[in-house]
Amino acid sequence: MPNADISDQDLMELLRRVKAGEEGARDALFAGAYGELRQLARSRLRDGGRNTFLDTTALVHESYLRFIRTSELRVDDRRAFFAYAARVMRSVIVDTVRERQALRRGGDLQRCTLDTSVADEMPSGEDDVIKLHEALEQLATVEPRLARVVEMRYFMDSSEADIAEALDVTERTVRRDWRRARMMLAAMMP
């Protein structure tokens, strides 16, 4: 998990204020958690979003814009807040990749292929982001705990101990789930 920039007590108080609808509480929460959100964004871009033309700051800010558009924040502690933030960041990365792919393919313009070898030369990094996202969604419908292990380990950089505590399982179970999730994701991704 990211290093603590804001104390648990302060974060809990800000979350309480956000839930109560207090004016300025969302901004205060964002400002207080900004350092940790940047660390999380840096990790996301390093691990799966490096081909999105997003940088750390852009990812954090776009995630914040999505955060303020939500009507209600349903998290109760630090782990849940940063898990939510990681999911929002993943969503931003996937949406950015989809938008770039749509533009690269002409957006709403009528397509006309002149040379089929051009498609073979396109970078596959963006496709991998979309494939991982879709496979993770499939995994969540079949094995929700395995999907949570992947989210926490891959998208939040959580340790096995943190994941075990959050999911109320042993570290050995987390290791087993991680291996199983990787195998299932590999099979789901063509």
The count of structural domains within the chain is 2
Q: What is the model's pTM?
A: 0.61
- Structure tokens belonging to residue 110: 């009528």
Residue 116 CB neighbour total at 10 angstroms: 7
Out of 107, 132, 151, a domain closes at 107
3-state secondary structure of 142: helix
pLDDT digits (tens, 9 = 90+) for 49-89: 455 567 888 888 888 888 877 766 777 788 888 888 888 88
pLDDT digits (tens, 9 = 90+) for 152-172: 887 777 889 989 988 899 999
- Give Cβ neighbours of residue 109 (< 8 Å, ≥ 6 apart): none
Residue 123 CB neighbour total at 10 angstroms: 9
The CATH code of the domain that includes 167 is: 1.10.10
Q: Are residues 39 and 102 in the same domain?
A: yes
Q: Are residues 103 and 177 in the same domain?
A: no
The answer to whether 52 and 97 have CB atoms below 8 angstroms apart is: yes
Out of 41, 73, 107, a domain closes at 107
**CA 129, CA 182: separation in Å to the nearest integer?**
15
The CATH code of the domain that includes 8 is: 1.10.1740.10
Q: Is the pLDDT of residue 115 over 80?
A: no
Q: Are residues 163 and 103 in the same domain?
A: no
Would residue 39 count as lying in a domain? Answer: yes
pLDDT at 145: 93
Would residue 116 count as lying in a domain? Answer: no
Taking alpha carbons only, the member of 174, 113, 181 closest to residue 147 is: 181
Q: Are residues 40 and 128 in the same domain?
A: no
